Amino acid sequence: MPSMTLFYSPTSPFVRKVMVLLHETEQLAKVALQEVQLSPISPNPAVNAANPAGKIPALRLADGSLLFDSRVILEYLDQQHDGQPLLATSGSARWNGLTLCALADALLDAAVLIRYESFLRPADKRWDSWLAGQQDKIERALAYFEQVASASLSEHFDLAAISLACALGYVDLRQPELAWRQRYPQLAAWYAAVSQRPSLLATAPPQ
Ligand code: GSF
């Protein structure tokens, strides 16, 4: 019987991070999924009641309390299993891991904002310079991950790796024309390898 409830959508890359962690740490049975639909222009009342920011994921715990956003939920769930922690609990490994998580989320934020700007916003109100600024953030983040790919990403499929894999999956879904693999071959090799993990295969977004 699940003790927690996750506000969920199969297409949300931020929710996917949580689902991948649940797979990796064998905690799926603890969490019931409450599927919701939302966007910044069609908010969801149940989500707004759970998270004032009106965003998913949000996680309701057994005692009724609520956690958000995805990074907080990942850290919480990482402390609820007996396996090897997916984020170091102290020292420079922890700060480095959290920094890589933050950059992966920044990459994903930029990709989601581009999606909203180019899909939701009326065509006559779109702002090319703003879109270009978001695209530059994606490019700089990819270049950074290319540099650290072999040193920081290879050893362990940790919270940073989960966050980055979900961000790259979303970029592939929404910007297939970006062809980032040609420019970032080490990152591409890393992603090709981790993409075969059951946790990522099971949570791939519907096309
Ligand atoms: C971002 C969540 C988010 O943007 C986190 O949880 O890490 N910093 C937050 N979620 C999107 C759905 S998605 O693109 O995964 C969302 O809920 N958007 C609705 C809105 O009103 O922005």
Which residue CA neighbors atom 21 of ligand 1 most closely? 40
Q: 8: which strand partners?
A: 35
Quick one: 101 exposed, middle or buried, by C-beta within 10 A (0-12, 13-18, 19+)? buried
Contact 145, 158 (CB under 8 A): no
Considering the domain architecture, whether residues 179 and 110 belong to the same structural domain is answered as: yes
Residue 29 per-residue DSSP state: G
Q: State the Cα–Cα distance between residues 105 and 71, nearest whole angstrom.
A: 9
pLDDT at 149: 81
Tell me the pLDDT tens digit for each residue of 55-81: 999 999 999 999 999 999 999 999 999
Considering the domain architecture, whether residues 118 and 197 belong to the same structural domain is answered as: yes
Q: What is the residue range of 175's domain?
A: 91-202
pLDDT at 29: 98
- Confidence check: pLDDT of 12 > 80: yes
Per DSSP, the three-state class of 66 is strand
Domain assignment present for residue 135? The answer is yes
- Return the ligand 1 atom nearest residue 16 CA: 15
User: For residue 47, how far is its CA from the centre of ligand 1 (angstroms)?
Assistant: 11
User: What angle separates helix 159-174 from helix 70-78, to the nearest 10 degrees?
Assistant: 140
pTM: 0.97
Domain assignment present for residue 84? The answer is no
Tell me the pLDDT tens digit for each residue of 82-138: 999 999 999 999 999 999 999 999 999 999 999 999 989 999 998 999 999 999 999
Considering the domain architecture, whether residues 73 and 113 belong to the same structural domain is answered as: no
Domain assignment present for residue 34? The answer is yes
Considering the domain architecture, whether residues 62 and 133 belong to the same structural domain is answered as: no
- Confidence check: pLDDT of 155 > 80: no
Considering the domain architecture, whether residues 70 and 146 belong to the same structural domain is answered as: no
Ligand 1, CB cutoff 6 Å, lining residues = 12-15, 38-40, 54-57, 69-71, 105, 112
pLDDT at 153: 84
Between β-strands 31-35 and 4-8, what pairing exists: parallel, antiparallel or unpaired?
Answer: parallel
Q: State the Cα–Cα distance between residues 8 and 60, nearest whole angstrom.
A: 11
Instruction: Count the domains in the chain.
Output: 2
Could you give the C-alpha distances from 8 to 12, 33, 135, 196, in angstroms and in order? Answer: 8, 6, 27, 23
Considering the domain architecture, whether residues 14 and 53 belong to the same structural domain is answered as: yes
Which residue CA neighbors atom 14 of ligand 1 most closely? 12
User: For residue 53, how far is its CA from the centre of ligand 1 (angstroms)?
Assistant: 9
Considering the domain architecture, whether residues 151 and 179 belong to the same structural domain is answered as: yes
Looking up tokens 């769930």 gives 77
Sequence-ordered list of residues with C-beta below 8 angstroms from that of 123, at least 6 positions apart, any chain: none
- Confidence check: pLDDT of 180 > 80: yes
Q: State the Cα–Cα distance between residues 68 and 183, nearest whole angstrom.
A: 34
Tell me the pLDDT tens digit for each residue of 34-56: 999 999 999 999 999 999 999 99
User: Which of 23, 53, 78 is the last residue before a domain boundary?
Assistant: 78
Tokens of 22: 């649940």
Domain assignment present for residue 113? The answer is yes
Neighbours of 124 (CB within 10 A): 5
CATH number reported for the structural domain that contains residue 144 in this entry: 1.20.1050.10
Tokens of 65: 């309390």
CATH number reported for the structural domain that contains residue 49 in this entry: 3.40.30.10
